[in-house]
Chains A and B, each alone.
Chain A
Amino acid sequence: MVYDWLKGLQDGAINPLGISGPFLLALLKVLLLIIPILTLVPGLIWWERRLLSWMQDRIGPNRTGTITFPDNFPLKALAGKKIRTFGLLQPIADGLKLFLKEDITPSHVDRKIYFIAPAIALFPAFALGGTLPWGPHTGIYGLLTPVANIEIGILYVLAISSLGAYGVVLAGYASNNKYSLMGGLRASAQLISYELGMAMAVAAVVMAAGSMKLTSLVEAQEAPLWGFVEGVQNWFIFTPYGLVAAVVFLIAMIAETNRAPFDLPEAENELIAGYHTEYSSMKFAVFFMGEYAAMFVFSGVFAVLFLGGYNMMPFQWDVLANQIPAMRGFFEFMASANYWLAPLTFIVKCAAGITFFIWLRATLPRLRYDQLMNLGWKTLLPVGVANFIVVGLWVVLTKIWGPVGGFVSLLVAMVFLAVLYLNFVSRTRAEAIGLQSRKIALVDPAPSQRRGITLVDPNKS
């Protein structure tokens, strides 16, 4: 019934609201994307704080929302009892606090840009999900998701995520504060550097799937594993090239969302709070929300690209049902569960991605700036390019020798490249890094040897 109604909307049928059908459907699609993100962000903040505290052997926020009933409470069942919410209301309390706080605008800021920056920061986080399919492309989900199933789906994601730099950069500039400016500068350099690695990782997957449409990318992952193992889905993370691409993408993704260990733009022990030092109350909350929404949506992108999208388990249920007729009923049940639980599966995958983000934050120390740049330019980008070449090789060889021959030659090529890398590149680089140290001149060098900045004594002039 719902399906018929939605189908009617798509075909332009008159609906009781009197709005044009396709328009209403589009609105519905957007709301179905935005509302889950908006409602899940407080939950994410709670989850991050609790999980971090468990990992750090603390308790974390667990009190907010606890109601203790007095012993003489009229309802005997509740008297003397506690209702615990595990601190789930903490983010709401925080949000309320931020909302009601005085909104301070420092007098020295570039006012227009200062006000626009949080909005610009929030826009990409929400727009990013525009091409994400959170359900299968057939039946009712096909009508509801993705918002726009365009040919350039993954390029859209890359383009919008690259706009994410502006919010941070402009906030840093408009604050007119040296620390904020440093944060903005770092953010712009970091985003530019990691976008390349990310694009190369994506390009490998796109080449393997032969399409940039996100729905086609998921479909390509529903094919048999490696092209010849029937019954198992070809999730890209299970393929050798996909695994490499996934690692590169994951690292670049964390850098793009400015999360620890790549949170240099807001490194609190170096830059106070980086680009949002001068922001208070609701504007700060908007930055915060943008970051969490971006984390959520990027986890979704990762799930679509590498983890089979909305598929619950990496099995081709229909193929298995034909191969093992004895368990046909079970496999058919699983196939329909896979279909109807698709949105839930997708959210669970997003949540897993966010848990990984938090886990990394609890585990790794922040990178130094030169380490950040080296990782982006000297490791991720070459690995991504090498992976890209390997995928190209695999595509060609599969066409010549069939799936098995192609896969074997892919493995051989990867082992060969790894040996080459370990023997030559990493050894020379390890030597270079081992000898690297910072020169600190304890004695003021002679004026002739001074390079760069020359200090001028203000008392003499």
Chain B
Amino acid sequence: MNANQLAFIALGGLAFLGALGVVLIPNPVRAALALVVNFFVLGLLYFVLGSQMMGISQIMVYAGAIMVLFLFVIMMLKLDKKAEEVAPGDAWRKRFTWLIGAVIGGAIFGGVMLPLASITTRVNPPQNFGTPQAVGWSLFTTYVWPFEVISVLLLVGIVGSIMLAKRRF
């Protein structure tokens, strides 16, 4: 095992623990914190993969901005109480939830892992891989249309949310 694998396993494990924490911790603020840890470590994982621009955007946007907003909302609404326990009569519902979770989890896991099973050769990333220059270049040449369309989509989202928030009930 080399240093790269060690770093990947350590960070991946931490990210996994964070993700588990989000689901299993009943206290909303602590669950949100676990999500912050997950996002932060995910950013570091991108660094391990050599994609520095992605990694720093992940930390800046998700860990730094979006999760602060999440915490703001959670604290504002005082969602301190523990999640309500499932009533005993709803045991079948609980089992059904587990089943759905297992199926979706298995599908995602299979969908990600199966294509990797056939890969045997190591592919070296191109020069400048993951630098802001390379990311910017491909965003504004190859992917310029998707990029612009997404920006319009985000704009629509912003305007729509403002419309909803400003609506007088």
Which positions in A face B, CB cutoff 8 Å? 110, 113, 150-152, 155-156, 158-159, 162-163, 165-166, 169-170, 172-173, 181, 184-185, 188-189, 191-192, 195, 212
A62 to B98, CA, bound (A): 68
Q: Could you say which of B33, B36, B52, B59 contacts A151, with CB atoms under 8 Å apart? A: B52
Residues on A with beta carbons closer than 8 Å to the beta carbon of B133? 151
A152 touches B56 (CB 8 A): yes
Complex interface: stretch among B62-70, B100-108, B144-152: B62-70
A188 to B131, CA, bound (A): 30
Residue B114 is within 8 A (CB to CB) of chain A in the complex: no
A86 to B75, CA, bound (A): 45
Number of interface residues of B (CB under 8 A): 23
Residue B30 is within 8 A (CB to CB) of chain A in the complex: yes
A-B contact count (CB 8 A): 70
Q: Could you say which of B40, B60, B75, B132 contacts A185, with CB atoms under 8 Å apart? A: B75
Q: Could you say which of A152, A165, A170 contacts B33, with CB atoms under 8 Å apart? A: A170
Residues on A with beta carbons closer than 8 Å to the beta carbon of B71? 166, 169, 173, 188
Residues on B with beta carbons closer than 8 Å to the beta carbon of A165? 64, 68
Residue B53 is within 8 A (CB to CB) of chain A in the complex: yes
Q: How far is the CB of B159 from chain A (nearest CB, A)?
A: 16
Residue from A163, A185, A195 whose CB has the most chain B CB atoms within 10 Å: A163
* Given A159-B56, A184-B75, residue A113 in contact with residue B30 (CB < 8 A): yes
A156 to B57, CA, bound (A): 9
Residue B76 is within 8 A (CB to CB) of chain A in the complex: yes
A169 to B32, CA, bound (A): 12
A173 to B32, CA, bound (A): 13
- Nearest first, the 3 closest Cβ-Cβ pairs linking A and B are A162-B64, A159-B60, A188-B72
Residue of B nearest to A195 (CB): B65
B59 touches A159 (CB 8 A): yes
A150 touches B52 (CB 8 A): yes
A166 to B64, CA, bound (A): 9
B29 touches A173 (CB 8 A): yes
Q: Could you say which of A151, A172, A173, A184 contacts B131, with CB atoms under 8 Å apart? A: A151
Residue of B nearest to A165 (CB): B68
Q: How far is the CB of B158 from chain A (nearest CB, A)?
A: 13
What are 26 residue pairs bridging A and B, where the CB atoms are less than 8 Å apart in the complex?
A110-B29, A113-B33, A151-B53, A152-B132, A155-B57, A158-B64, A159-B59, A159-B60, A159-B63, A162-B65, A163-B40, A163-B63, A166-B71, A169-B75, A170-B33, A173-B29, A173-B71, A181-B75, A185-B75, A188-B68, A188-B71, A188-B72, A188-B75, A192-B65, A195-B64, A195-B65
Residue of B nearest to A181 (CB): B75
* Given A151-B133, A163-B64, A192-B68, residue A113 in contact with residue B29 (CB < 8 A): yes
A151 touches B132 (CB 8 A): yes
Residues on A with beta carbons closer than 8 Å to the beta carbon of B76? 185
Known pairs A113-B33, A163-B64, A195-B64; list 10 more (Cβ under 8 Å): A110-B29, A151-B131, A155-B57, A163-B40, A166-B71, A169-B68, A169-B71, A172-B75, A184-B75, A212-B132
Q: Could you say which of B33, B60, B69, B131 contacts A192, with CB atoms under 8 Å apart? A: B69
* Given A152-B52, A188-B69, A188-B71, residue A162 in contact with residue B60 (CB < 8 A): yes
A155 to B69, CA, bound (A): 20
